[in-house]
């Protein structure tokens, strides 16, 4: 791909919530043609921080909005990006870890309360249960709003779709293909085994191919599906961060099992698919 072709693809990457970037976002004019990627949240792991939002990306194709993951704070980040959160009708969840989904219910209720009439479809592994749970969580609010005059049930608007590897969605702007990656390692016989899957997505638009790994380990399936992509969006961590995190966990609480969130991990965007980053 030529530099000209690359530069034609607008990227707003690494949106740290600084005053400068907020001003830039406020001045952003949404593109109506072509393919634009906006990294709404680049923080890896569920630990809240003051200056990074959790995982979420907005792909804009000929003015249509496609959301990939919905980490905490995603609705506010969409508003900061200059796009209308009510116009997001297709959401793709790479996997149901909280740092990729914590903002989903908030986005749903904001769309509903601000009069989105069209359906919103959410795709991913284990997503049907996720959406059902969000609707249950939001029922008290919905019943109050109903008494205040709302007349459209939330369940009429939001639909969760559990997907399988292969083609998961297609319209005039995008063709979305998924592979299962190696993020999850469930033991056979445990509750999540076979129930929850972690996906990587390839988006083919009329002028670009954008690939999202989500969280993953080394994966031949990911490497194969990512071939030829113009943009490669992945989540990475450093070996030093892993060692530090594991050491701290062991020093403060030496259990038989512990969970270590890699606090230095982050989303990175590569313009070449020739060198895949291992997360």
Q: Using CB under 5 A, list all residues that contact Zn ion.
A: 97, 215
The angle that helices 74-81 and 19-26 make with each other, rounded to 10 degrees, is 60
For residue 214, give the DSSP letter.
Answer: -
Nearest to Zn ion of 39, 110 (CB atom) = 39
Name the residue nearer to Zn ion (CB basis): 180 or 215.
215
User: Shortest Cβ distance from residue 132 to Zn ion (Å)?
Assistant: 21
**What torsion do the CA atoms of 135, 195, 249, 52 make, to the nearest 10 degrees?**
-50
The least CB distance from residue 139 to Zn ion, in Å, is 28
Which C-beta is closer to Zn ion: that of 91 or that of 138?
91
DSSP 137: H
CA distance 264 to 242: 8
DSSP character at residue 85:
G
- Closest-CB residue for Zn ion? 97
Nearer to Zn ion, 21 or 182 (CB): 182
| Least distance in angstroms from the C-beta of 91 to Zn ion | 17
Q: Smallest distance, Å, CB 274 to Zn ion?
A: 25
Least distance (Å) from Zn ion to the CB of residue 95?
6
Q: How far apart are CA 28 and CA 135, in angstroms?
A: 32
Query: 73 or 125, CB closer to Zn ion?
Result: 125
- In sequence order, what E strands does the chain have? 10-12, 35-41, 56-61, 64-68, 88-92, 120-124, 158-162, 166-170, 175-180, 199-204, 209-212, 231-236, 266-270
Tell the smallest beta-carbon distance from residue 45 to Zn ion (Å): 8
Q: Which is closer to Zn ion, CB of 45 or CB of 160?
A: 45
Q: What is the DSSP string of 142-188?
A: HHHHHHTT--S-GGGTEEEEE--SEEEEE-SS-EEEEEE-SS--PPT
Question: Rounded CA gap, 68 and 126, in Å?
Answer: 15
Residue 55 CB, shortest distance to Zn ion, in Å, is 8
Q: Using CB atoms within 10 Å of the CB of residue 119, give its burial: 0 to 12 exposed, 13 to 18 middle, 19+ buried.
A: exposed
Per DSSP bridges, beta strands 158-162 and 266-270 are unpaired
User: d(Cα 38, Cα 53) in Å, to the nearest integer?
Assistant: 13
Smallest separation (angstroms) from Zn ion to the CB of 103: 15
Which residue, 215 or 230, has its beta carbon nearer to Zn ion? Answer: 215
When the beta carbons of 100 and 208 are compared against Zn ion, the nearer one is: 100
**Measured between alpha carbons, how far is 155 from 143 in angstroms, rounded to an integer?**
13
């Amino acid at each position: 791909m030529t530099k000209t072709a690359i530069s034609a693809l607008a990227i707003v990457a690494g949106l740290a919530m600084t005053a400068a970037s907020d001003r830039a976002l406020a001045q952003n004019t949404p593109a109506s043609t072509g393919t634009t990627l906006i990294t709404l949240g680049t923080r890896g792991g569920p630990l809240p921080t003051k200056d990074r939002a959790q995982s979420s990306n907005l792909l804009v194709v000929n003015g249509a909005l496609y959301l990939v993951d919905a980490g905490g704070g995603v609705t506010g980040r969409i508003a900061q990006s200059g796009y209308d959160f009510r116009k997001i009708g297709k959401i793709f969840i790479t996997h149901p870890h909280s740092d990729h989904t914590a903002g989903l219910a908030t986005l749903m209720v904001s769309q509903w309360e601000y009069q989105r009439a069209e359906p919103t479809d959410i795709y991913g592994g284990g997503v049907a249960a996720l959406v059902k749970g969000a609707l249950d969580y939001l029922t008290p609010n919905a019943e109050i709003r109903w008494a205040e005059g709302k007349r459209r049930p939330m369940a009429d608007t939001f639909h969760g779709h559990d997907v399988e590897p292969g083609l998961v969605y297609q319209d005039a702007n995008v063709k979305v293909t998924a592979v299962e990656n190696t993020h999850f390692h469930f033991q056979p016989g445990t509750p999540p085994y076979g129930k929850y899957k972690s996906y990587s997505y390839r988006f083919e638009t009329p002028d670009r191919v954008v690939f999202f790994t989500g969280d993953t380990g080394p994966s031949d399936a990911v490497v194969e599906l990512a071939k030829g992509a113009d943009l490669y969006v992945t989540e990475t961590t450093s070996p030093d961060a892993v060692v530090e995190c594991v050491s701290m966990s062991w020093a403060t609480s030496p259990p038989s099992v512990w969970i270590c969130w890699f606090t230095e991990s982050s989303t990175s965007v590569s313009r070449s698919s020739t060198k895949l980053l291992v997360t």
